[in-house]
Chain A
Amino acid sequence: MNFTLLVTVVLTAVLFVAIVMVLAKLLAPRSFNKQKEEPYECGIPARGDQWSHYHLGYYLFAILFLMFDVETMFLFPWAVVARSLGPQGLLAVVFFLFILVLGLAYAWRKGALKWH
């Protein structure tokens, strides 16, 4: 039942967007001129290629996120049974978390958290 519902919800979202879009396309006017189809940049024609080389200051954060997100994922199964595992489980996880914190500290120290 749950997966049927999951599909239903996804379908709902897609249908909702699709139907509204069709309705909007039916109702809305269309007009054409050359300037309309150019990118907006405060009323000035854009210079150069829009998809030109853009310095991504954020990619380091993406990599860090990937790392930490996967690590925290491992914590979830433990969290569910944390109560029954008791202090012993906690000790194991603290060790794991310690490594995580070490990783963060390393990234911090290396200046990966500094915005470039």
Chain B
Amino acid sequence: MFDFSIITKWFHTLLTGVMPEWLAIGIECLIVLLFIILLYAILAIALIYAERKICAFFQCRLGPNRVGKWGLLQVFADVLKMLTKEIIKLRQTDLLLHDMAPYFVLTASFLTFACIPWNKGLDILDFNVGVFFFIAISGIGVVGILLAGWASHSKYPLIGAMRSGAQLISYELSIGMTMLTVIMLNGTMQFSEIVQQQADFGWNIVRGHVPAVLAFLIYLVAGNAECNRGPFDLPEAESELTAGYHTEYSGMHFGFFYLAEYLNMFICGAMAATIFLGGWAPIYFPGMDGFNAVMGYIPGFIWFFGKAFFVVFLLMWIRWTFPRLRIDQLLSLEWKYLMPLSMINIILMALVVCFGLTL
């Protein structure tokens, strides 16, 4: 597998050769900044387009096909429209909080986005407590949503925000616990290490067999709930709360929430791919050397995106199939089913790990 860190190291030495260290780091940071923004924007556009097309196919429709070839430019038109839309400020809102909410949501989204290992050696934030960090910062998004609902000074957003507060924090527990099982399996909290181990010993979902599969399923449900989608879209709940916590947001202000929603879906998928499906590690069958070699030639980021988009597709499939849950059903699903199940799963995984039963 091609190691991207070779390029970054070479680039670093190249820069430090002609300029002082601080300038080199500054330039690298600038490149990282541009890289994140570009990737973020491209992914957002791709995801929104994919969602509209995929849901159209589920619903026996065509989806956007007039703007550009196959409607490819539809999302660009939407972005332009949103940029030129008035930003409404309500008279009695808490203006500071109202304006701050998108910052919180996007910061959380960007930070979690930066945690994802794209390829071998290509990860922006790679702490040795990576998983911990990931869980911690994904909590910032909740603050943003709560602020948005509270500061709007309106009843529908308030109810939406309260719902989303309860929902997001509840499901965060399950996410934490499923990640715990993975950490146990791999013995590290560093995302790059986790993926490296999977490249060496096989994907976690195979290696950890029963508890890992269980953890993966729990993660899918909880992750789906974390991105406010599918049957768990209660904070927005179009048919109940008109538009939920962002009812009073207009123009680009609303656009940020829209953007973050889709990116969070991708992050959820990417995380599932990273910790369960082997991240950038190619598919590998013991004993089939020729096949393995061919697979090894495919670049890691393609593997990664393939897996991430597969999970994203699963999430879309679920979203466009199921009716919405009610708030009490939603909470009892988490607290009475998923939580005890993930606790049992931790012990199961601990047994598997301690007695060396991994595949």
Contacts of A104 in B (CB 8 A): 335, 339-340, 343
Smallest beta-carbon distance B37→chain A, Å = 6
Q: A-side interface residues toward B, CB under 8 Å?
A: 1-2, 4-6, 8-17, 20-21, 23-25, 27-31, 36-42, 46, 50-51, 54, 56-58, 61-62, 64-65, 68-69, 72, 75-76, 79-87, 89-90, 93-94, 97, 100-101, 104, 108, 113-115
A20 to B86 alpha-carbon distance, docked (Å): 13
Once the chains bind, are B251 and A61 in contact (CB under 8 Å)? no
Complex: chain B residue closest to A58, CB-CB: B166
Q: Knowing A16-B110, A28-B251, A50-B153 touch, does A80 contact B87 (C-beta < 8 A)?
A: no
Are A2 and B354 interface neighbours, CB within 8 A? Answer: no
* A17 B103 Cβ-Cβ under 8 A: yes
> Are B169's CB and A65's CB within 8 A?
yes
Instruction: Kindly list chain A residues whose C-beta atoms are within 8 Å of the C-beta of B90.
Output: 37-39
In the complex, how many residues of chain B place their beta carbon closer than 8 angstroms to a beta carbon of chain A?
79
Is B332 on the interface with A (CB-CB < 8 A)?
Answer: yes
Known contacts A4-B25, A113-B332: A38-B125 contact under CB 8 Å: no
28 sampled A-B residue pairs with Cβ under 8 A: A5-B125, A6-B125, A8-B33, A9-B32, A17-B106, A20-B252, A21-B253, A24-B251, A27-B83, A28-B87, A29-B84, A30-B86, A36-B88, A39-B154, A40-B156, A41-B155, A56-B162, A61-B166, A65-B170, A65-B172, A72-B180, A80-B188, A82-B350, A85-B354, A93-B350, A97-B347, A101-B343, A115-B332
